[in-house]
Structure 1
């Protein structure tokens, strides 16, 4: 499965210091899990959480879920050891907070190499500072970067912007990061929604992220997983339409026709490409089950 087609509709943070949470994660239908060593872990629990995250990755008990580890920043006393331990455990990726420049990605990559991590182990930088936004094209283009994660809470803090419904203060910066990801043919994951007791607000923000073009959303609670999965999965109607677009286009090409319409809409190559991606996405999701 290509990197950009792998489903990442729901990317769930799980505190690595919480053994019950790690156990529960085995049954939550998230596409990906971030075993968190950073914000969710108290300083005196960092080392134990690191060991728990490594054990979870190596356990083989999480099915088809994509497993990653969020390390502490390299500017902390735990960051380098986190990256080295994660590299040796070989998750799909390490998630690195507050990546401001491509040189920080190089530093993480060097630590992974020193830990003899697999060459295919990727880096998911978190884009959550003004410097990151200004440097996001170079960050996204790094060969070891597979996914950009938006750190919307920290970005709003850095901008001195309130977290409001609709996120209008953040939209330009979200769009900038998304453009960088697409230019580099990389995946972009939207930031978290904080109010777990507001499902309508969460659904609205998911729709906004999906319509902007993000590939999925980072989540802070298991109740957010299924709504995110639904939002970023092609519906039955979308699959049916995609199949009819491809069939009509193929028939027109075979008959030498210059004009193709489906449901009264003109069909061009770009619509066929979109239809094929819809079907490939549906297939990739079905392969998870």
Structure 2
């Protein structure tokens, strides 16, 4: 498929976050801020805020499929980002649909547990993730999700590359590891001390999908997306009484990087700004 206007088209298959911090809302902001055109197939409607998830309502399978088909048939897609799935039935239906666009890169963020601790994928849904991992270009679990999926070897056995996110690790330094058939690339950076980290995984995966849709290599797409997440964390607007949303819009303002970093010991603002396109 050739973009009609030259803009990269990213189809996001994920749940809605009523608090605007994660899910479809974070995905749309990320794709837009990084220069792509976001399109959506919503898998679940959640009632949530910075304090937790109060309710989850899965969208009927046929509606999820119809959303995907509608977008694919008319606008076309250059990449797909998969987030919260909602049910095993939806996972299988999405996998079936992706088989019709075999050449399109897919970034799969296996959402299982919300930042608040709420369970967002039951055992049957987690088992169905295997089909999505077999279709994915990249799988982006955090450390607890990686353990729940059986570890690095289990994820890599499906044929996708793996970005093991280190945000849930110990210490002041975070290590993100991209593992492919060609080897391993590691990003190490200072932890930004904030509770307003809701939506980091969604943002990272959508950022990578946008880069792939724009023709970037996997490593370059990961590099830019990691930089964007760091900037968005630093720009968090301090909303809500719990794990608040990040500052997606301010994250693309280079001047803000220098301003925000002045109060953060150990964060090299100049280096981060130099990496920003």
Shared fold per TM-score greater than 0.5 = no
TM-score, normalised relative to structure 2: 0.40
